[in-house]
Amino acid sequence: MMAFAGVSRFQWGRLLSFFILLVAVNEASAIEWNGNNWAHGCDFTGGDFSRAAIPGKECGGRCAATQGCTHFTWTRHNGGTCFMKRGPVSKANAFSTSDQSKVCGVIHESTSSPSGGRMVGKTTRYWDCCKPSCAWPGKAAVSSPVKSCRADGVTVLRDVNAVSGCNANGKQAYTCNNNMPWVVNSNLAYGFAAANIKGSDERGWCCGCYKLDFTSGPINGKSMIVQVTNTGSDLGENHFDIQMPGSGVGMFDGCTSQWGLPLSVWGQQYGGVASRQDCFGLPQAIRAGCLFRFDWFMGADNPNVQFVKVKCPAELEARTQCVRQ
């Protein structure tokens, strides 16, 4: 080994270790993370416990839906493989690669919190048919505002400034029918929610996704991943108001003007219809979302949750066409 004047072998060893660490830090900082904690051209060492042959855009959602998965890497191995990983992790643990087709991401980033970054919250339910708050422009750094629809609930409006169906006059824009929740499996469902999260605002939560782990009532142990599309002045801190047709219009009613049905069909203003049978009085186009409440959701009444922010599943983003930047 070449020696430098006045530098001992011990000091040289420490200098060499410092330079190696400096290179590693530079590699990590070279990774360009997006707002959903994933990036191209990166990987994590070890931690693999499961894999799935799926497209890259579905890897983050699959990890979020898999018990114990905290981070992931997708590669072109065998035509496209999602490697799900577990264990304490942060973005600083990723290393850059020369293969830009690789995708890596973090679902649950380790923190000093004893609950692994999860927070305690509450849920309620609603379906007011109004244009969602995150459908207005300028709410957050997103690809585009949440899509709203004409009164048929299907035709997407291109005008982001279209008047909400909950306005007294000029009603144009309503919640799209596909904002109903749906079942992924017996223990997981996807959906949408209005939210108020402590320490944040619409700039921080619009079109973000959160995994809700239910901790009370008949669905204790089940989970939902919801994309936040709305908020409300009647929501408390760490409060998720999950969208389910027939669950009460709450403060605003766009449903009677959208569907031409009396308010009585929609049930109580807060709480909605009283039984599964009452769902059959709702328009057929959104009836499945009402039945979801009594079937997969097991009629649970405002269960408590532990929640954490996660990468949005592609299936949710496809419905709202809203992706955080």
Non-local CB neighbours of 153 within 8 Å, separated by 6+ positions? 174, 175, 176, 177, 258, 285, 286
Concerning whether 128 is annotated as a catalytic residue, the answer is yes
Q: What does the angle CA 290 – CA 295 – CA 267 come to, to the nearest 5 degrees?
A: 35
Q: How many other CB atoms are found less than 10 A from the CB of residue 269?
A: 14
Closest residue by Cα to residue 312 from 190, 131, 147, 182: 190
Which of 43, 48, 128, 278 is catalytic? The answer is 128
| Phi-psi map region of 265: left, alpha, beta (phi>0 left; psi -120 to 50 alpha) | alpha
Backbone angles phi, psi at 72, to 5 degrees: -155, 160
Handedness of CA 179, 275, 297, 118 (dihedral sign): positive
Q: How many other CB atoms are found less than 10 A from the CB of residue 295?
A: 13
Concerning whether 241 is annotated as a catalytic residue, the answer is yes
- Taking the C-alpha atoms of residue 249 and residue 252, their distance in angstroms, rounded to an integer, is 6
Non-local CB neighbours of 5 within 8 Å, separated by 6+ positions? none
Q: What is the DSSP letter of 260?
A: -
Backbone angles phi, psi at 203, to 5 degrees: -60, -30
Count of residues making up the chain: 325
Single-letter amino acid code for the residue at 166: C
Which of 99, 213, 241, 278 is catalytic? The answer is 241
Pair 224, 102: CB distance under 8 Å: no
* Both structure tokens of 207: 């079109």
Q: Mind telling me the catalytic residues?
A: 128, 241
